[in-house]
Amino acid sequence: MSKNNPACSVTLQQGFALLEVMISSVILTVGLLGIAGMYGFASKFSYEARQHTQVVYIANDIMEHLRMSKIAWLKSVLLTGNGSYQLNIHNQSASVLFTASNKNQKNRYTDLILHDVAAWQQHLASAFPSSSASVCLSLKRHKTESAINADLTVNWTVNNADKSFMAPVLNDACGQHETGRRQYMMQMQL
């Protein structure tokens, strides 16, 4: 036989068969769908982490402003009664009631407190424009006249929250009982 005879030569195929290409495309599609599903899951939790970070920032801001204006709180809202005070701030409104020993102190100190409360309400409104959020601040004059015990609870709701990841609510004093509710608590002596 001669080398040039085409009937005698064996040719080897090179490349992929159609079946191999189809199987590899199915495997690739399943992998990409899994990645796309994880992306949605990760974006949901990054949104909740962002909200939690904003809540921690708001809570720390409130406590620092309380620390800086402690005298105003002591001389305006913690003067009478049992020396305790409850403040509720929602991302739409705030409730503030004052008692003071004289009008000059009331005007001077309450202006500072009203400014702080308005700033906190604005922080809540900007951090949670499409969901509800509230801050419950409980102040109590400590045994020593110059110290304040502060309990702060921030509640907020997460839209379309997955109920399987719900944490238990520790403080129901704020009065929010909604689906998707989250809570952050802080205590400090000022």
Distance (Å, whole) CA 178 – CA 182: 9
pLDDT for residue 103: 45
HSE of 57 in the Cβ direction (CA atoms, 13 Å)?
10
Give the rounded distance of the alpha carbon of 66 from its chain centre: 21
Residues 96-152 pLDDT 10s: 554 444 444 456 787 888 888 888 888 888 888 877 788 888 888 877 667 888 888
Whether 175 shows a pLDDT value over 80: the answer reads no
Strand partners, 84: 140
pLDDT for residue 101: 43
pLDDT for residue 94: 60
pLDDT for residue 99: 45
Residues 15-55 pLDDT 10s: 778 888 999 999 999 999 989 888 888 887 888 888 889 99
What string of H, E and C letters represents the secondary structure of 37-92? HHHHHHHHHHHHHHHHHHHHHHHHHHHHHHHHCHHHHHHHCCCCCCCEEEEEEECC
Whether 160 shows a pLDDT value over 80: the answer reads no
Q: How confident is the model at residue 59 (pLDDT cuts 50, 70, 90)?
A: very high
**More reliable by pLDDT, 178 or 153:** 153
Neighbours of 108 (CB within 10 A): 13
| 5-14: average pLDDT | 61
pLDDT for residue 104: 47
Rg (CA), the chain: 31
Whether 189 shows a pLDDT value over 80: the answer reads yes
pLDDT for residue 172: 55
> For the chain, which residues make up each domain, given as ranges?
20-189
Whether 163 shows a pLDDT value over 70: the answer reads no
pLDDT for residue 102: 41
